[in-house]
Amino acid sequence: MVKMMDIPTISQEVVPYLKVVVVLVVAFFVIRLISRLLKKFMSVRAMPLDAQNILQRVVVYVLWFIVLMYVIAELQLEEILMPLLGASVIVGLAVALAVKNVLSDVVAGIFILLDKHFNIGDEIETLKYKGEIIDVTLRKTRIKTDDGTIVVLANGKIDSSGWVLYQRKTEAEEK
């Protein structure tokens, strides 16, 4: 039999868990709505799909991280989870250092795609290669040289070394 004095104690222990459940349900719908609105907003911009996808994921991850921090605080799990969070930051830094060249290429690719210094079909010269741009992705740019060779260059190297952009020939000039 439950004593009358135990009911307030039980409710005080249950309330934080109920708050967390409500916050998680609301957060799920709000973050989903924000993600859809962000996707619609970016679709009308002249932003490459890769950059849109990365930006959308970053926003969603940051929002879920904020919700996670609230849950940890509400359930008073700081003493247990904060050392784990600190360790995960150290592991994340180690991974970032291990893949720094890839990250450098991706960041450079984002800037190349957003700044639109050159487009597919443009003729450029970079890193001793001269040719027509046939593909630009987040990590790599593909150039077709005059002899038909396809050269794949890391965006980080292109961005750091620079390039020369030649004017496109019009159809009248090619005839």
- Radius of gyration (Cα) for the chain, nearest Å? 26
Q: Which helix (H) or strand (E) holds 136?
A: strand 129-136
pLDDT tens by residue, the chain, 175 residues:
455 556 666 677 788 889 999 999 999 999 999 999 988 888 787 666 767 777 888 899 999 989 988 888 888 888 887 788 788 889 888 888 888 888 888 888 888 877 777 888 899 999 899 999 998 888 899 999 999 999 999 988 888 888 898 876 555 555 5
pLDDT at 172: 54
pLDDT at 44: 80
The domain 116-174 is classified under which CATH number: 3.40.50.720, 2.60.40.730, 2.60.290.11, 2.30.30.60? 2.30.30.60
pLDDT at 173: 54
Q: Is the pTM of this model over 0.75?
A: no
Q: Which helix (H) or strand (E) holds 143?
A: strand 140-145
For residue 161, give every residue at least 6 positions away whose Cβ sits within 8 Å of its Cβ, in sequence order, or none: 126, 127
- CA nearest neighbour of 82 among 73, 74, 91: 73
Rounded CA gap, 58 and 64, in Å? 10
Q: Where are the domains of the chain?
A: 6-98, 116-174
pLDDT at 22: 94
